[in-house]
Homo-oligomer: A and B are copies of this chain.
Amino acid sequence: MTTLKNDRLLRALLREPVDVTPVWMMRQAGRYLPEYRATREKAGGFMDLCRNPELACEVTIQPLDRYPLDAAILFSDILTVPDAMGLGLYFTEGEGPRFERPVQDEAAIDALGLPDMEEDLGYVMDAVRTIRRELNGRVPLIGFSGSPWTLATYMVEGGSAKNFSKVKGMMFDRPELMHRLLSKVAGAVTAYLNAQIDAGAQAVMIFDTWGGTLTPQHYQAFSLDYMQQILQGIKREADGHRIPVVLFTKGGGLWLEQMADTGCDALGIDWTLSLSDARRRVGDRVALQGNLDPCTLYASPERIREEVGQVLASFGNGNGHVFNLGHGIHPQIDPEHAGVFVEAVHELSRPYHGNH
């Protein structure tokens, strides 16, 4: 394997010293970049782009050519897994993702199989391998998956949930059925992340976009427990290196302690919680990744720098901070503002790492 030229991300996720705070942006390969829009046009639809390893690699690397980011993240979609489980993913203009065959009863759940990682999801692994080769040690590559609960919401609803009526109806009325579904999805996600690690992912992140719609008890039973199963089933080392795992539940600020107890290496934090409070609550159990409000990037460069400074001050001195937005970058953001953000993190964080 090529030596990593910039290992700040991995060091910070493992709470080791760094020279400046590493930074990346959720959805950094995305519609706010004109070069992304051009490649996507060339590919055809969104899923055509995901399924084309060369083009997926191209868009993954585009933001790194513009900004001094400290990580690349695989360009893909969380719904590749249910698609590979046979649900038939398609996209309609304005309506978002849809499944031809939603999973709404016992028979449909029992029929779900574990997808074959090379046969059904080989295009993802090819993208990981291609990106690793093209990165050539420049920065680490992050792999990812949706959480079982989050994937289940799409699988049961048949697309983006409007009010979670079907998936929560199943959870309330047929909890044993919901557990059977989540258990299968957790198995698939575990295999999926392991295959990404085998293909070259150097850190992985689990996106629990919809765990925050649950009560505390339901979050524990239907979302967090399955993320913990995944954490127990995935390889935590490859080529002699620790593979850090980041858990991110959007709107999960009330449950940080439980999340930190799962054995993950880091928690993604949205902007509704200050990093100082988060750090006080989780101690040195995990690193923290976050948490600038993505809307900050609509503001002037001067104000962006100020807000970056406040997030850095909120975390304070010491190891274990990866800077990020609290959610994906919006498509309307001016790419120059994203650049101001990334550079401000490096410049303003230096004093917090004085002893390195």
Contact = CB atoms under 8 A, between A and B. Distances in A.
Interface of A: 163-165, 168-169, 172-173, 212-219, 251, 253-254, 271-274, 277, 293, 295-296, 298-300, 303, 307, 310, 330, 332
Contacts of A298: 165, 168-169, 172
A13 to B, nearest CB: 23
B172 A307 contact: yes
Given A168-B295, A172-B299, A295-B169, A163 B332 contact: yes
A249 to B, nearest CB: 11
Nearest to A165: B298
Contacts of A296: 168, 172
Contact of A165 (B173, B212, B295): B295
User: What are the 9 closest A-B residue pairs judged by CB atoms, nearest first?
Assistant: A172-B299, A168-B295, A169-B298, A215-B271, A172-B303, A165-B298, A173-B299, A253-B254, A216-B274
A215 B307 CA distance: 11
A172 B264 CA distance: 34
A307 B217 CA distance: 11
Contacts of A164: 295
B216 A277 contact: yes
A272 B303 contact: no
A49 B123 CA distance: 55
Nearest to A298: B169
B163 A215 contact: no
Nearest to A310: B217
